Structure 1
Amino acid sequence: MSKVIIAEKPSVAKNIADATNSKTRKDGYYEGSEYLVTWAFGHLLELFDSKDYDEKMAGWRMEHFPFVPEAFQYKVKSDPSDRHKPDQGAQKQLMTIKALIERADVDGVISACDYDREGQIIGDIILDYLKVEKPVERLLLNEWTPDEVASGLKKMVSNEVMTPLKDAGISRQWADWIIGINLTSVATLKYQRGSGKALNIGRVLLPTLKIIYDRDLEIENFVREEYHKLTGTFKTPSGENYDGIYTVDGNDKFEDIKSLEAVKTALAKKRGVVKERIVELKREYPPTLFNLSGLQGYVTSKQKGWTSDKVLKVAQGLYEKKLITYPRTASMALEESLVEKTQKVLNVHKRGLPYEKEIEFHTHKRVFDNSKVESHSAIMPTYVVAKGLAGDEKIVYDAVKNRFLMQFMPVAEHEEMTILTGSVDMDLPGQFISKGRRQLVEGWRQIEKIKSKENELPIVEKDDIVEIAKLKIETKGTSPPKKHTEKTLLRIMETCGKKFKNQKKKAKEDEDLNEASEDDSDDVDEGIDVDESDDQEMIQSILSGFSIGTPATRAETITKLKRVGYIGVKGKSLYCTEMGRKLVELFPVKSLFDLEYTGRLEKTLSDIGKGEVERNDFLEAIIAFTSVAVNDIKNDDFHVIQDLQVPHEGSLGKCPSCGSDVIEGKKGFGCTNWKAGCKFVVWKEDKFLKALGVTPHRNTIIKLLETGEVFSNNFVNKKGTKFSAFLRYEKNEDNDYFSWKMRF
């Protein structure tokens, strides 16, 4: 007897087929002596559209909402080129899976889709749709290497054990359908009537937009505050110079310049004295192993033009090629059961490296810690050696491999020196503080050639007398926060906006480095001092599920925000477009912008996956929320269409009648609001213009919409004589159509 294995994608099916010796390639599957290995193409099935449940929903009408079906149903996914027809490839593959399962020599099914809530429902929805009655087992793997597949097949679980994860996936899918279908439809009807484009409303989309909006507003409302600093340059007995910043009770920024001028004057021609010399040995651990958000943030900050969505797609490809472990993970550590496997992987990848002898395997809690793992361990390379990688794949693979190797390199060490300098001849309320740094052990920093900015101070002893060579007062100003990048946005989505110890420290350092350029501000991925080891609170927050979206969906959310025109990109910086701003400010369902509310929803989905919350309770709450939100939109007093208008690609300007976009078509230049009755259109074969010997072009229409009239000295009268005039296109007094008016 045989078992049917269903993989999520053809590439994964090929890996499983190779590992199980299922070598015979058939139409839609591989066959071996024990297994028939087939595949989906991600989701083969999709939820019914609202019109599939009720014909009246085919035309959007406000009175038909809110709409929630009595029972959700699935159909073969639609053809992307014609949504009215099922995708023929998906339909054929579904029938292949059905035929294989129904074979007389098949006594069971193995779901081998990705081990997450989305992978769980990809397999389960297919099995439910086909009404499979044969026993179903679940293959739960973190990578697709032959050893792991063979091992995983020996310790499968019944698919019934995975019911909570299925419930979480189904709840996410149905909740997003209920919110998306209802609120997108009603919002479009209310604010976008006749625009021809929907106003996208989503559970994860809007709070992410609000994060960017809030940062933009913070920057715009920022008030620069001036402060002053006094720097002293001191000369040691041996003739070496060092600088120090004047500080009183820990503060080196002064609002009152006069107090600094008084100190500067008092110290003129005086001598300094070394009050104290402090030397501390600091140890720096490497940054933690990557989870998906960390990998996306790292690569997008280093590589110009990269997006988090691109990083995910490349990482997914490497995973399917057996080169890295499962990338859609929130964890930054490895399960303790992976010790032996990890040592094997390390031995493979350290071979031949110039620092091979420095790499030593260990089982420290920074790397192996079950309390820091949720479902999937952090991303690491597999024992399969990558050959011939180039371009995008090499960039992502090297990032994962290098971060892995760093964990087993020596801890980096540097010496921090602090010199406190006072005055010999007078009592000062403060003192001059000088900071220096000297790298002693490069350690893990060698792997990516990370260099620290050395700032060595001269060797002085306490009570040494130093000459005050120079005193300088500088006036500076506080800096506004920087625009969000994909790296900073992903971290806020991951922790739902919570701030932690290390983040606060980083923010303080950024404030002190206000001369740094915006594009370079996120490029450094430093280690962690031993006395500031990983913030357990942050890690637990990430793993709790209290977040905006999941590791798998955050990149897609950012990409969609760009695609629908709610945010824009300049360099690495993200900003809220005018349309995005209007949506945040005017859309009445404010809870959808609330990070706390969205975080609770995502946390509840996580708890459903753990079997701690019932699916039906969650969905009842979503239905109740949607019903209230629909009524809030219906009763909203705001009616101005153009302020929330989605800009059309190729817009030439705004319609003088209704304010919608004017675009070029095959026969003319018309208002996109024509379905709602707007009559503004300039035909390319306009008879009046043709009689004048001119033809309207794009630039003509742009000028007309911008200034209200256009000038030409190429008009021709009936006698064939050229003349000059201004031409206007004005709405008729007795109807909604437009006519040409001439001004000489």
Structure 2
Amino acid sequence: MKKLIIAEKPSVAGNIAEATGGGKRENGYIEGDHYIITWVFGHLLQLYDAVDYDEKMAGSWKMENFPFIPKDFMYKIKTENENRKKTDEGARRQLDTIKKLMDRDDVGEIVSATDWDREGQIIADEIFKYIKTDKKINRLLLNEWTRDEVSAGLDNLKPNTEMESLSDAGFGRQTADWLIGINLTSVATVKYANMGYDALLNVGRVLMPTLKIIYDRDMEIEKFESSKYYKVLLTLENEKGETFEGTFYRPVETGETEDSDDGESSDGKTKRSEKFTDKEEADKILEALTGEKVRVTEKDVDTKRENPPYLFNLSNLQGYITGRYNGWTADKVLKVAQDLYEKKYITYPRTASSVLDESLKDKARKVLATVGKGTPFESELKFKDTKRIFDSSKVESHSAIMPTYVLPQKLSEEERQVYEAVKNRFLAQFLPQAVSEETRLEIKPREEIIQKSEIMDSEDVIIVRGKVQKVEGFRQAEKIQSKDTVLPDVEKGEILTVKDGKVSEVVKKPPKHHTEKTLLKVMETCGKSVDPEQEEDSEEMMMSILSGFSIGTPATRAETIKKLKIAGYITTKNRSLRCTNMGKMMVETFPVRELFDLDYTGRLEKTLADIERGKFKRSEFMSFIKGFVADSVEKIKGDKTFGGTVKIPEDAHVVGKCPECGNPVVETEKAFGCSNWRNGCGFTVWKDDKYIQSFGKKVTPKMVELLLENGKVGFNGLISKKGNRFSAYFIYEKGEDGRYHWRMEFI
């Protein structure tokens, strides 16, 4: 008897076939002596559309048909992306192939070999629900598709029934998102279309809190009040003529040094600050010290030993690549990493773990010997068995991402960038610690200078900090360059000269807009105990991630960011993510406020994680979701405030009054639009108007001002299609279709 293996993709099926002795490639499968290997390509099945359950849901959406909650959830062959009424013929053919293979008399056992996560589990389980069989179903659980791992995995199959909790979590996520998406998107779109919003309002369990994170940062920047202070920077010279820079500090009251670089003297008592609010005072101190002799009164040298950053999980890998290279998105990083995984070069990328399971020690030793060979630091590589690398208690389902022993033969530039990142982070774990000496000098002016200046006292000091890298260690792997100041050799008691200096103005800047890198970090923990600007995860954050309290999963976060862009809720400028006006309106006025509550969303995601661990029942989760959907639909139906009123920013460029409603028309990045858009006014003149551009002209602020003031605007030097020049008035008027169109009158 033969075993039928169902892989998630044709490429994975090829890896399994190679590991099991090969076979003859047929239409939709590969057949060998002992195994038949077929495949899917993602989900071949999908949940019924609402109309499949009830014909009254056909055509346009009607408010009275919602909430729509099926008693049982049914599956059908997936439809085409472009035409949801048409069945995907490729999916139908492959399902027919799988059914024929499952029904063959010489097939005695079925092996599910899809990806080892929620989504991978239900991709195959959907098929087993759709195509009934009484044959034994086992599960192949692998983190990589190398020959050794496939062979070992096939010798240690698990009954698919043991994956019930993982399956429940996957189906729970799928049906919950269907209920929320179908009901809330439909009802919101219908409700607010009646209030003048001609757009699909995409509402989702993961979309809304992610949008809120971006919105909150935008508002933080918008409300930020800039401030400035001055500091005195002094150039110091030792007897050898070597120069370096120090900063002047003075005593302050306790509590005033919150943003200070130093704030405390070596005696741990005196609080000091480098900040001057009065530039004139700072100038006087600079003048008093320039050319004078000062003495080094304290020298503290602290040896720092630094461990390498943890191994990559998916979010950290996405953040590393998008932060290091231009043109990358989180979604693109995942796709490239998935390709490398299927080519057997790296382990499973959709992981939240930053350490390896303890069972992988021998494998890691083998990989180290392979990928470390020929590196410039090969002689320094040494296998380590430490909890920073191997700790089963900090692994949930999948270990951190690492290379396999299969060395790539040929990689595209994008594949090389991701592979090198994974490889170098792995090698860094087995290099020595980085060792540096951090020096702090405390330097005091002579007493006669203090007395002469009349604005200094004996507690005033000049503080210098510097760093010397003694051992590069793991920094060699990722070529991490230190930005710290390197100091010359200076001893306590040495006399220095203040050569010159400057008073530097420091302007306190607002926080930066979120990038995909920082957004992914916040999504990992719903913003709990994490600074999104930090480069690497702490152990505390690692455990927080593994608790499941998050927005989405490693596999879905990149897709969520992509969907927000498609929905028109956010836009990208350089690497920055920003809310659009529609996105701001959703956060500020959409009535189902729970969807924007990060804590609420985190609890939902943690519940799914607890279902996966067998700690919570899927039936209880679904009962809650159905109640939430029903309540939310009623909130939307009864809402009368969506959109709200508009507050025009003080720096907005107003070009005139709206001909529709009389409110100000303001300039934005792409258009001149009515500020009353939230209440349904759609008057807009687009800057890239193709009609105006066809005559060799541009839409400018002055042009729109004249248009709104006079009802028309005149142009000289217009160019016709034949190249002739002429003059004409352009009139912008509303047509029978409710939209504005240009009309031309010759002068």
Asked if these proteins are the same fold (TM beyond 0.5), I'd say: yes
**Alpha-carbon distance change, 384 to 729 in structure 1, aligned in 2, over 3 angstroms:** closer
The root-mean-square deviation of aligned C-alpha atoms, in Å, is: 3.3
In 2, distance between residues paired with 1:389 and 1:204? 34
- Give 2:275's match in structure 1, choosing from 254, 268, 283: 254
Aligned to 1:458: 488
Give 1:232's match in structure 2, choosing from 227, 234, 237: 234
- State yes or no: 1:603 paired with 2:633: no
**Match of residue 622 from structure 1:** 625
Q: 1:237 to 1:201 in 2, by over 3 A?
A: same
Deviation at 1:418, TM superposition (A): 1.0
Retained in 2: the 8 A contact 1:192–1:199?
no
Query: What is the DSSP-based 3-state SS (H/G/I as helix, E as strand, rest coil) of the residue aligned with 1:450?
Result: coil
Q: How many residues align?
A: 670
Partners in 1 of 2:742 and 2:574 — Cα distance?
45
The change in CA–CA distance for 1:77 and 1:351 in structure 2 (over 3 A counts) is: same
Give the Å deviation of 1:731: 6.1
Equivalent in the alignment of 2:416 = 394
Give the corresponding residue for 2:404. 382
Once the two structures are TM-superposed, the CA of residue 461 in structure 1 deviates from its matched residue by 2.3
3-state SS of 2:273 partner: coil
In structure 2, what is the equivalent of residue 674 of structure 1?
A: none
Structure 1 pair 696–444 and aligned structure 2 pair: CA distance change class (3 A)? closer
Q: 1: CA distance between counterparts of 2:199 and 2:728?
A: 38
Shift in alpha-carbon separation, 1:190–1:655, aligned structure 2, 3 A: farther
* CA–CA separation in structure 2 for the residues paired with 1:556 and 1:736: 34
Q: 1:451 is paired with a residue of what secondary structure? A: coil
Residue 492 of structure 1 and its aligned partner are, at CA, apart by 0.6
Alignment deviations for residues 126-181 of structure 1 (CA, whole Å, 9 cap, x no partner): 01111222111111000011100110111111111100000000010000000000
The CA distance in 1 between the partners of 2:86 and 2:218, in whole Å, is 43
Structure 2: how far apart are the matches of 1:165 and 1:723? Answer: 71
For 1:25, the equivalent position in structure 2 comes to 25
The answer to whether 1:288 aligns with 2:310 is yes
Amino acid at match of 1:180: G
Whether the 8 Å CA contact 2:247–2:274 is kept in 1: the answer is no
Q: How does 1:643-654 map to 2 (within 5 A)?
A: none
What's the counterpart of residue 140 of structure 1? 141
Does the alignment pair 1:559 with 2:562? Answer: yes
Partner of residue 473, structure 1: 503
Identical positions, percent = 53
CA distance in structure 2 between the aligned counterparts of 1:467 and 1:79, rounded to whole angstroms: 77
Deviation at 1:199, TM superposition (A): 1.2
SS of match in other structure, 1:298: helix
Q: Which runs of 5+ in 1 are unaligned?
A: 508-524, 527-533, 644-653, 660-677, 681-694, 716-721
1:384 offset after TM fit, Å?
Answer: 0.7
Conserved in 2, the CA contact under 8 Å of 1:22 and 1:35? Answer: no
CA distance in 2, matches of 1:679, 1:211: 27
Q: Would the aligned equivalents of 1:191 and 1:640 in 2 still touch at CA under 8 Å?
A: no
Q: TM-score with structure 1 length normalisation?
A: 0.84
**Larger displacement relative to structure 2 (600-609 or 18-27):** 18-27
SS in 2 for 1:85: coil
Distance 1:478 1:104 in 2: 75
Distance in 2 (alpha carbons) for counterparts of 1:97 and 1:740: 61
Give the match for residue 91 of structure 2: 90
In the aligned structure 2, how far is the partner of 1:543 from the partner of 1:625?
Answer: 26
What SS does the corresponding residue of 2:86 show, helix, strand or coil? strand
Residues 338/655 of structure 1: CA separation in 2 closer, same or farther (3 Å cut): farther
Task: Compute the displacement of 1:235 (Å).
Answer: 2.9
Deviations 1:335-382 (A, max 9, x none): 010000111111111112222111111111111111221110000111
1:241 is the counterpart of 2:263: no
Distance in 2 separating the partners of 1:453 and 1:418: 16
Question: How many angstroms does 1:740 deviate by?
Answer: 7.4
Alpha carbons 1:300, 1:486 under 8 Å: kept:
yes
After superposition, the C-alpha distances for 1:649-677 in whole angstroms (9 at most, x for unaligned) are xxxxx997699xxxxxxxxxxxxxxxxxx
Residue 556 of structure 1, CA deviation: 0.5
The question of whether the paired residues in 1 share the 8 Å contact of 2:590 and 2:642 is answered with no
Aligned residues of 2:589 and 2:643 also touching (Cα < 8 A): no
Q: Which residue of 1 aligns with 2:432?
A: 410
d(CA) in 1 for partners of 2:605, 2:714: 59
C-alpha spacing 1:639/1:488, structure 2 compared with 1 (3 Å):
closer
Match of 1:309 among 327, 331, 335: 331
TM-score normalised to structure 2 length: 0.84
Partner of 1:442: 472
Cα displacement string for residues 395-415 of structure 1 (whole angstroms, at most 9, x for unaligned residues): 111111111111111212111
Q: Is the 8 A contact 2:585 2:643 kept in 1?
A: no
Provide the residue aligned with 1:572 in structure 2: 575
Identify if the C-alpha distance between structure 1 residues 153 and 269 changes in structure 2 by more than 3 Å, giving closer, same or farther.
Answer: closer
Query: In the TM superposition, what is the alpha-carbon distance from 1:439 to its structure 2 partner?
Result: 1.3
Correspondence for 2:377 among 350, 355, 358: 355
Shift of 1:617: 1.0
Separation in structure 2 between the aligned mates of residue 738 and residue 155 of structure 1, nearest angstrom: 69
How far 1:266 moved relative to its partner?
5.9
Which amino acid in 1 is paired with 2:510? P
1:663 maps to none
Indicate conservation of the 8 Å contact 1:191/1:641, yes or no. no
Structure 1 residues 87 and 227, CA gap change in structure 2 (3 angstroms): same
Matches within 5 A, 1:119-518: 119-192=120-193, 197-247=199-249, 248=251, 249-250=263-264, 251-257=272-278, 260=282, 263-264=285-286, 267=289, 271-425=293-447, 426=450, 427-453=457-483, 455-500=485-530, 503=531
Match 2:544 to one of 533, 536, 541: 541
| 2:651 matched residue in structure 1 | none
Q: Is the 8 A contact 2:549 2:606 kept in 1?
A: yes
Following the alignment from structure 2 to structure 1, what is the Cα–Cα distance between the partners of residues 274 and 424?
40
Question: Given the superposition, is the C-alpha separation of residues 473 and 702 from structure 1 closer, same or farther in structure 2, using an over 3 Å criterion?
Answer: closer
Pairwise CA distance, 1:579: 1.7
2:331 is paired with a residue of what secondary structure? helix
- Summarize the Cα distance change of 1:255–1:238 in structure 2 as closer, same or farther, 3 Å threshold: closer
Q: Which amino acid aligns with 1:237?
A: E
Q: Which residue is 1:6 aligned to?
A: 6
Q: Distance in 1 between matches of 2:624 and 2:490?
A: 69
Rounded to whole Å, the distance in 2 between the matches of 1:392 and 1:269 is: 55
Query: Conserved in 1, the CA contact under 8 Å of 2:591 and 2:642?
Result: no
- Given that 1:226 and 1:255 are in contact with CA atoms closer than 8 Å, whether structure 2 keeps it comes out as no
Distance 1:732 1:335, change over 3 A: closer
Alignment partner of 1:84: what SS? coil
Partner residue of 2:593?
Answer: 590
Structure 1, residues 220-273: CA drift from partner, whole Å, max 9, x if none? 111112122122333323333332212344343425436646655665775322
Instruction: Measure, in 2, the Cα distance between the counterparts of 1:305 and 1:182.
Output: 36
Q: Which residue of 2 aligns with 1:37?
A: 37
| Residue 46 of structure 1: aligned partner | 46
Q: Distance between the aligned counterparts of 1:492 and 1:729, measured in 2?
A: 46
Q: Partners of 1:228 and 1:380 in 2: how far apart?
A: 48
Secondary structure of the residue aligned to 2:414 is helix
Instruction: Sort the Cα spacing of 1:138 and 1:274 in 2 relative to 1 into closer, same or farther, 3 A.
Output: same
Partner of 2:73: 72
CA drift of 1:437 comes to 1.0
Matched letter for residue 167 of structure 1: D
Structure 1: distance between partners of 2:586 and 2:309: 38
Q: Assess if the C-alpha contact under 8 Å between 2:728 and 2:744 holds in 1.
A: no
Structure 1 position 723, deviation (Å): 10
Answer whether contact 1:190 1:639 (CA < 8 A) is retained: no
User: SS of 2:527's equivalent?
Assistant: coil
